[in-house]
Copies of this chain bind each other. A is one copy, B any other.
Amino acid sequence: MKLKRTLLASAMASLALFPFASSAMEKADLMITDAMVLTMNQDKTVYESGTVVVKDNKIIAVGDASLEKQYQAKQVLDVDGDIVMPGLINTHTHVSMTVFRSLADDVPDRLHRYIFPLEKKLVSRDMVRIGANLGNVEMVKGGVTTYADMYYFEDEVAKTVDKIGMRAILGETVIKFPVADAANAEEGIKYALNFIEEYKDHPRITPAFAPHAPYTNTTEILQKISKLSLELDVPVMIHLAESHREEEKIAERSDGLSPVQYMDSIGALNKNLVGAHMILVDDHDIELVKKSDMGVAHNMSANIKSAKGVSPALKMYDENVRIGLGTDGPMSGNTLSTIDEFNQVAKVHKLVNKDRAAMPPIKVIDMATMGAAKALHMEDKIGSLEAGKLADIIVIDTKAPNMVPVYNPYSALVYSANSGNVRHSIVDGKIIMQDRDMLTVDEDKIRQEALDFTKVVRETVIESGEVVQ
């Protein structure tokens, strides 16, 4: 605790009231100075010695050092040349599953043989809260400021997101078999509707439907959700074109259609949909995706861990599909910040395209920020550092030895950075992590709660005959 307080004190020392403010200066709340600003705007403008100005929860100016003379800010955060960029957006996860991380990672047919039975025994309101708290801390410390979640008891996840101060799209699962918070899909829809009603006006939380996958729901349920989502104007998140099992089941149901074609044929492919994975898609599928204006979550690291293959994500990106990076859940990814996956995303696409110039760093960073914002249809609010956007901003340490030197900031971020290099995370104009210290939640307490819960998991995994390892 002594260390922690000292870190805080040291961090606070770099925040100072702006000393000599002229009356002609515009008022602001926070000004980040001496920053290598990657705006990720349309022109990919970079300010080598730049400034970002925040008022309330919005960015009001981004530019060079001359902005320091135009604004009088309550707080000045001099970042000494560090990289300042939009907060990362994780387009797909199951945050509460952190409490299961490192269990049975390489079991064949794992979802059906291991994860579903495990969840049947252990998913509860408590588990969801405990796991989400841990995952939220991991994401904030890894520079993720917004995430899209699909799980159960999403109202519990919402409380944790509200508390820590992140931004999230939270999708309540709908699935045809009995789960912890619903006996069937109809009950899942009811749960989701209540959740949507409760959170529809929250400034940082967007409630959503999350039908698990096409093959784990009936056509009728998928159509009902699609209709409701358009009426209520809420997102629908789904695992789509992920596995051969899914392909086979959907082909049986639909006279040989691919999962994407099937979703289109039942009228469920539309602008409110976010499809996670999208590995098994061909050119015709991609055409349908573009036409529908749906979003895509690309989870490279989880996809190759399960040997499912590599999504044609680069092709989709190049064809202007709304596509961004996601981590998948912590039993899949296994970490929750896309910064730890930049490297893989770049390199595996180079490998499969047999071209070292394929998937250059700037595209990876775009898919982690603006691309991800587009995938979630939030590009008017987040994803770049531009005046008028919400102030979701991260600062990356450029002094860590792995980050020295920075001739090209995109290369440094993609080929060298890891989540430990994130110094500060700002969401909605509020600093929620500073010099790696969490300011809105008690990290030690959250970790201890998670560790306590692992005792229950250990007992269950060992006792249960259903959970095969």
A interface with B by C-beta (< 8 Å) = 2-3, 6-7, 10, 98-99, 101-103, 105-108, 110, 134-135, 137-138, 141-142, 301, 304-307, 309-310, 333-337, 340, 343-344, 346-348, 350-351, 353-358, 360-361, 399-402, 404-408, 411-412, 415-416, 418-421, 443, 447, 450-451, 454, 457-458, 461
Contact = CB atoms under 8 A, between A and B. Distances in A.
Which of A6, A134, A458 has the most CB atoms of chain B within a 10 A radius of its CB?
A6
Which of A310, A335, A412, A443 has the most CB atoms of chain B within a 10 A radius of its CB?
A335
Chain A, interface SS category: helix
A78 to B, nearest CB: 16
Contacts of A103: 407-408
Contacts of A305: 346-347, 350, 356, 415
A235 to B, nearest CB: 27
A419 B218 CA distance: 45
25 contacts: A3-B10, A99-B405, A101-B404, A101-B412, A102-B405, A102-B406, A102-B407, A102-B408, A102-B415, A103-B408, A108-B357, A110-B356, A301-B343, A304-B348, A305-B346, A307-B350, A307-B356, A334-B411, A335-B415, A340-B343, A400-B420, A402-B419, A404-B447, A418-B419, A419-B420
A411 B358 contact: no
Contacts of A402: 138, 141-142, 335-337, 340, 419
Quickly give the copy total for this chain. Answer: 2
B404 A351 contact: no
Contacts of A411: 102, 105, 334
Contacts of A361: 105-106
A218 to B, nearest CB: 29
Contacts of A102: 405-408, 411-412, 415-416
Contacts of A412: 101-102
B350 A304 contact: yes
A337 B334 CA distance: 19
A447 B401 contact: yes
Nearest to A310: B351
Contacts of A137: 401
Which of A141, A306, A334, A356 has the most CB atoms of chain B within a 10 A radius of its CB?
A356
Question: 4 tightest A-B contacts by CB?
Answer: A420-B420, A138-B401, A418-B418, A334-B415
A348 B345 CA distance: 11
A348 B335 CA distance: 17
Contact of A3 (B6, B304, B407, B454): B6
